């Protein structure tokens, strides 16, 4: 039997770069003579009948670095502590399947788990650690909202996708002299909106960290018109809120996080009413999660995957691999569980936006 049997899990929403982590971790594990496995479709499969683990060998990870998604599959209803099931009446009920998962982990003679995920996955990881599963975490989310790491894998690709899309919409805005509102993802933080908005030279950027006031946006539109610029590009984060207003929520399915959306449409309609100018909205949605990872995300993902194996090899468990400048570091997963990294309002990126005249809605 191999010296170690290690499983890899991809949890929560997919992000470009997941497959590169899987490849690097697999190859780095195999080169140490270990057996590597992937958990199929997230933790849920570990608690159900059927194929739970996918053996990962050289062939399984061939040519996957450049692929979006995850070859293992992922699931939003995969929290083992709050797993939704349909009962005989067809109604959803929540069960704690964590002991079942721990038992299966032991039955499979696994020595370690590499958990690739965002805030939800790290919260689950911190609870599984308490139940005795040795875990190394890898930070993934296009939202870039995990604390203690400069960047999360997937963010760079999402930014490029959003920037390219906003660039294209800008030409239409100018041609039609319209107000165009582009809603981007990011959950409760404005990393994607701010960075993609700045890169694509948007005129207004609305982020959850800065509640917005329509008066200020209208003023910006007027000021542009006075300079002969009769179109306005607005980038709004899905979690942005109006001053004294509420977050735009589409709904919440059992066992899943609430689904945000609708603020782009709201802003476009309201600006049409307030200015009389033709306004349209575009929701970029899951486009931002797909596609081939950028070279920055590929390299980061490969580094994170290999570092995770080095941590397992040293028995340095219950750590999250983070980026700090040009280096990788390991911090306790418990340090970040349940926390969110917001855009710092005193940071230079917000300051840059203000200095070059971008309206942030306040």
Task: Give the catalytic positions in this structure.
Answer: 143
Torsional class of 73: left (φ above 0), alpha (ψ -120 to 50), beta (otherwise): left
Of 30, 76, 150, 280, the one binding ligand F6P by CB under 6 A = 76
Residue nearest to ligand F6P (CB): 185
CB atoms within 10 A of CB 66: 13
Binding part of the chain for ligand F6P, among 183-191, 199-207, 208-216, 316-324 by CB under 6 A, reads 183-191
The residue (of 74 and 318) whose beta carbon lies closer to ligand F6P is 74
Q: For residue 232, which of 281, 295, 161 has the smallest C-alpha distance?
A: 281
Site for ligand F6P in 143-162 (CB under 6 A): 143
Q: Is the dihedral of CA 123, 47, 12, 187 positive or negative?
A: negative
The residue (of 36 and 67) whose beta carbon lies closer to ligand F6P is 67
Q: Residue 326 corresponds to which tokens in the numbers above? A: 């040009």
Q: b vs e for 72-100, b when ≥16 Cβ sit within 10 Å of the residue's Cβ?
A: bbbbbbbbbbbbbeeeeeeeeeeeebbeb
- Cβ 13 to ligand F6P, closest distance in Å? 4
Binding part of the chain for ligand F6P, among 100-108, 140-148, 173-181, 196-204 by CB under 6 A, reads 140-148
Site for ligand F6P in 283-312 (CB under 6 A): 289
* 204 interacts with ligand F6P by CB under 6 A: no
Of 142, 237, 333, 358, the one binding ligand F6P by CB under 6 A = 142
Site for ligand F6P in 256-275 (CB under 6 A): 259-260
Binding part of the chain for ligand F6P, among 132-140, 179-187, 300-308, 321-329 by CB under 6 A, reads 179-187
* 186 interacts with ligand F6P by CB under 6 A: yes
* 121 interacts with ligand F6P by CB under 6 A: no
The residue (of 289 and 298) whose beta carbon lies closer to ligand F6P is 289
**Chain residues that interact with ligand F6P, rule: CB under 6 A:** 13, 76, 118, 141-143, 185-187, 238, 259-260, 289
């Amino acid at each position: 039997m191999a010296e170690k049997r290690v499983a890899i899990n991809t949890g929560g929403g997919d992000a470009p770069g997941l497959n590169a982590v899987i490849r690097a971790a697999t190859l780095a594990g195999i080169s140490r003579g270990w057996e590597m496995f992937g958990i199929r479709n997230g933790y849920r499969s570990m608690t159900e009948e059927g194929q739970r683990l996918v053996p990962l060998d050289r062939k399984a990870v061939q040519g996957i670095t450049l692929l979006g998604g995850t070859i293992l599959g992922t699931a939003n209803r995969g929290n083992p502590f709050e797993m939704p099931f349909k009962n005989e009446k067809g109604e959803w009920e929540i069960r704690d399947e964590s002991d079942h998962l721990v038992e299966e982990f032991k039955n499979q003679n696994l020595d370690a788990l590499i958990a690739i995920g965002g805030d939800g996955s790290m919260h689950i990881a911190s609870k599984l650690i308490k139940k005795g599963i040795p875990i190394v975490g890898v930070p993934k989310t296009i939202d870039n909202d995990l604390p203690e790491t400069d960047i999360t894998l997937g963010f760079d690709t999402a930014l490029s996708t959003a920037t390219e899309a906003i660039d294209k919409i800008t030409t239409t805005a100018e041609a039609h002299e319209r107000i165009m509102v582009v809603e981007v993802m990011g959950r409760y933080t404005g990393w994607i909106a701010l960075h993609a908005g700045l890169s694509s030279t948007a005129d207004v950027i609305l982020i959850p960290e800065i509640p917005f006031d329509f008066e200020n946006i209208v003023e910006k539109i007027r000021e542009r018109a006075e300079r002969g610029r009769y179109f306005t590009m607005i980038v709004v984060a899905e979690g942005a809120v109006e001053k004294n207003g509420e977050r735009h929520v589409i709904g919440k399915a059992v066992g899943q996080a609430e689904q945000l959306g609708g603020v782009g449409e709201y802003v476009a309609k309201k600006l049409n009413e307030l200015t009389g100018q033709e306004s349209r909205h575009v929701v970029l949605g899951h486009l931002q999660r797909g596609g081939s990872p950028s070279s920055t995300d590929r390299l980061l993902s490969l580094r994170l995957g290999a570092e995770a194996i080095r941590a397992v090899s040293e028995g340095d468990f219950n750590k999250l691999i983070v980026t700090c400048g040009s280096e990788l570091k390991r911090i306790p997963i418990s340090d970040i569980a349940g926390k969110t990294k917001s855009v710092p309002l005193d940071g230079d990126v917000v300051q840059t936006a203000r200095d070059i005249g971008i309206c942030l809605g306040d």
